[in-house]
Chains A and B, each alone.
Chain A
Amino acid sequence: MATSRPYWRGYLKLSLVTCPVAMTPATSESEKVRFHTINEKTGNRVVSQYVDSVTGKTVEDEHQARGYERGDDDYVILTDEELETVELETVRTIDIEKFVARDQIEWIYLDTPFYLTANEKIGDEAFAVIREAMRERDVVGISRVVLGRRERAVVLEPRGEGMVVWTLRYGDEVRSEAEHLTGISRGSPKKAVAALEAVIKKRVRDWSPSMVSDPIQESLLKLIASKKKSKTASKKSGSKSNREHGERPSNVVNIMDALKKSVAKELKSRKAG
């Protein structure tokens, strides 16, 4: 996967120690099969643009601004530069306030993962000291940082030569367990548990990224390839019939059936094997 540019640059702080850091996303959609919106009539890409809702005229990038709604239809215009000066320490600094055991953070709160590294050579040593001390104490750090104009609670965890930073969900974004997991008994039939334990132990495997492959994406790519082929073929033979919307060359239909079957087959074989 292509190296991603830093999503956020700022400072990591532990008490009086401060070092420059950079944060990059740990996940990316860049390799997902992506469809664009096309104008059916011309075959050109459809793009969006901003127009003034009153005058109807196109508004260029440099005249687009964010408006903070103070009251009904009453906006205060804020530029990006101004927004950077909003006074809150967490806009630029991840100040580690607290350290806790990893298991104190329930998985349900983990929202988005990022990777954190020292951003300049000057911070390498300070970053490494903080990271190694956390690793030896077997704790994660708790802090806050403003991302996407929201102040998020974050968890910092040493990982290899860097750290993983998780943004955490707010309390009101997590549905209550009591609402969904009610009426379930705490106990369980002993014999059934023992039998299941035996089944489970036989099928313990090492984690592998192949467990999260995407057979449907592979099928989509095949579908696209087959359509590309038939498009070229029809161009060569001069046939216009394929260009009409709604008419599908018969080989495409066939290949789709085949793809569908192959995905279903893979699913079955994984379960059996």
Chain B
Amino acid sequence: MTAHRAQWKGHLKIGELACAVGLYTAASTSDRISFHMLNQKTGNRLRREFIDSETEEVVEREQQVKGFETGNGDYIIIDPEEVAAVVPDSDKMLEAEAFIPCDQIDDVYFDKPYYLAPADDESHQAFTSMRDALAKTDVAAIARTVLFRRMRTVLILPHGKGLIATTLNYDYEVRSSKEAFKGVRKVKVEDEMLDLAKHIIDTKKGDFDPAQTDDRYETALAAFVKAKAEGKALPKPKPIKVSKPNDLLKALRESAGLDKNSSKNPKAANANSGKKKSAGPGAKNASKAKTKKAS
């Protein structure tokens, strides 16, 4: 059995079968670089102070209460006990209400993952049966209960020898992708471009282990701070060249390694980009030249 303390203990139930389980934090997000706020004039650290927005007097912690704005700067004071009273007593039961086919899961709702493991010896058989039944039917269980003082919906999926329960964001917290992309102009993609892009993808296919990623920003920032402290000139960001619609096919071809001439002769490729002011006619000529090469 695991030596870690469970965040929550209760029962997992599918149909008439139930077993004792524990929820364990599976992931956290840590802040890394923390800057301190300073007074630019004195170089001293800053301290946060809480003041009354009208009288500007300091408000001590015991004087601070929670209020809900009803409009026009009017507030209704809410007692934390009143908020707590709205939360029903937990039945400590994660009971599957429904099962969702795995391909229907909208991961944008995902909040935080927790490992779900059997809490005692008697629960193992029921637990492994549930895990394998979910895996075999290729579905996720949806359950809800009072967790961490809110009524939360969790999505339960097999993971290795155990299960993962992911808390889900509430409906009002998620913007649907449909809505987010509503204003996006539909673009007809030319077959030749699509084929080239697919070719580029094929050359970049590989394996990826997220655990191996490091944060290069910390190193870059440390180098930046050192340069500044030594009074060295700070670097200017390099301008980024955007592919113009007229150059897109050329850029795709070069990326796919098909435009042999330009890769062997970088001068020719740079000739166009160098003449920024005459981009209009220059680009036209370039696309004409491409048509010739293609045929």
Are the C-beta atoms of A19 and B197 separated by less than 8 Å? Answer: no
Interface on chain A toward B: helix, strand, loop, or mixed SS?
A: mixed
Are the C-beta atoms of A85 and B27 separated by less than 8 Å? Answer: no
- B interface residue count range (under 10 / 10 to 19 / 20 to 34 / 35 or more): 35 or more
Return B117 CB to nearest CB of chain A, in Å: 6
Q: Which of B159, B174, B200, B241 contacts A108 (CB 8 A)?
A: B159
Chain A hits for B88, CB < 8 A? 260, 263-264, 267
Residue of A whose beta carbon sits closest to that of B203 = A15
Return A96 CB to nearest CB of chain B, in Å: 7
Are the C-beta atoms of B175 and A1 separated by less than 8 Å? Answer: yes
Return A123 CB to nearest CB of chain B, in Å: 7
Are the C-beta atoms of A98 and B40 separated by less than 8 Å? Answer: no
- 9 shortest A-B CB distances, which residue pairs? A171-B211, A15-B255, A133-B197, A196-B133, A181-B162, A199-B15, A188-B128, A38-B67, A66-B35
Are the C-beta atoms of B44 and A52 separated by less than 8 Å? Answer: yes
Return A230 CB to nearest CB of chain B, in Å: 10
Chain A hits for B48, CB < 8 A? 48-51
Q: Which of B77, B100, B145 contacts A40 (CB 8 A)?
A: B77
Q: Which of B52, B137, B169, B170 contacts A200 (CB 8 A)?
A: B137
Residue of B whose beta carbon sits closest to that of A222 = B86
Cα-based distance from A64 to B38 in the complex (angstroms): 6
Given contacts A100-B206, A160-B177, contact A213 B170 (CB under 8 A): yes
Residue of A whose beta carbon sits closest to that of B86 = A219
Chain A hits for B294, CB < 8 A? none
* Total CB contacts across the A-B interface at under 8 A: 537
Residue of A whose beta carbon sits closest to that of B28 = A173
Are the C-beta atoms of B255 and A16 separated by less than 8 Å? Answer: yes
Known pairs A45-B75, A260-B85. 20 more at Cβ < 8 A?
A: A27-B173, A36-B68, A50-B49, A75-B38, A76-B228, A105-B208, A107-B110, A125-B187, A129-B194, A132-B194, A169-B210, A175-B26, A177-B26, A182-B161, A188-B128, A193-B132, A197-B136, A200-B96, A200-B137, A210-B171
Residue of B whose beta carbon sits closest to that of A204 = B99
Return B212 CB to nearest CB of chain A, in Å: 7
Chain A hits for B69, CB < 8 A? 36
Residue of B whose beta carbon sits closest to that of A147 = B217
Return B249 CB to nearest CB of chain A, in Å: 10
Chain B hits for A16, CB < 8 A? 243, 251-252, 254-255
Q: Which of B47, B52, B59 contacts A51 (CB 8 A)?
A: B47
Are the C-beta atoms of A52 and B46 separated by less than 8 Å? Answer: yes
Q: Which of B14, B124, B200 contacts A184 (CB 8 A)?
A: B124
CB interface residues, B 135-189, toward A, < 8 Å:
136-137, 139, 141-142, 144-145, 150-151, 153, 157, 159-162, 164, 166, 168-175, 177-181, 184-187, 189
CB interface residues, A 44-77, toward B, < 8 Å:
44-55, 59, 63-70, 75-77
Interface string of B90-129 (1 = CB under 8 A from A): 0100011111110011111110010101100000111111
Chain B hits for A204, CB < 8 A? 98-101, 137, 139
Are the C-beta atoms of A14 and B30 separated by less than 8 Å? Answer: no
Chain B hits for A142, CB < 8 A? 208
Chain B hits for A92, CB < 8 A? 237, 240
Interface on chain B toward A: helix, strand, loop, or mixed SS?
A: mixed
Are the C-beta atoms of A38 and B75 separated by less than 8 Å? Answer: yes
Are the C-beta atoms of B38 and A24 separated by less than 8 Å? Answer: no
Given contacts A54-B42, A86-B220, A99-B201, contact A144 B240 (CB under 8 A): no
Chain A hits for B139, CB < 8 A? 200, 204
CB interface residues, A 222-237, toward B, < 8 Å:
223-224, 227-228, 231
Cα-based distance from A188 to B186 in the complex (angstroms): 50
Cα-based distance from A100 to B201 in the complex (angstroms): 9
CB interface residues, A 126-158, toward B, < 8 Å:
126-130, 132-134, 136-137, 139, 142, 144, 146, 149-153
Cα-based distance from A112 to B64 in the complex (angstroms): 32
CB interface residues, A 89-116, toward B, < 8 Å:
90-93, 96-100, 104-111, 113, 115
Tell me, yes or no, whether B264 is within 8 Å of chain A by CB: no
Chain A hits for B240, CB < 8 A? 11, 18, 92-93
Are the C-beta atoms of A24 and B159 separated by less than 8 Å? Answer: no
Chain A hits for B101, CB < 8 A? 204
6 contacts between A and B (CB under 8 A): A35-B68, A36-B69, A91-B217, A126-B248, A173-B27, A196-B130
Residue of A whose beta carbon sits closest to that of B118 = A184
Cα-based distance from A107 to B159 in the complex (angstroms): 10
Tell me, yes or no, whether B29 is within 8 Å of chain A by CB: yes
Chain B hits for A187, CB < 8 A? 128
Q: Which of B43, B132, B205, B255 contacts A98 (CB 8 A)?
A: B205
CB interface residues, A 165-212, toward B, < 8 Å:
166, 168-175, 177, 179-189, 192-193, 195-197, 199-201, 203-207, 209-212
Return A185 CB to nearest CB of chain B, in Å: 6
Return B166 CB to nearest CB of chain A, in Å: 7
Chain B hits for A146, CB < 8 A? 217
Tell me, yes or no, whether B278 is within 8 Å of chain A by CB: no
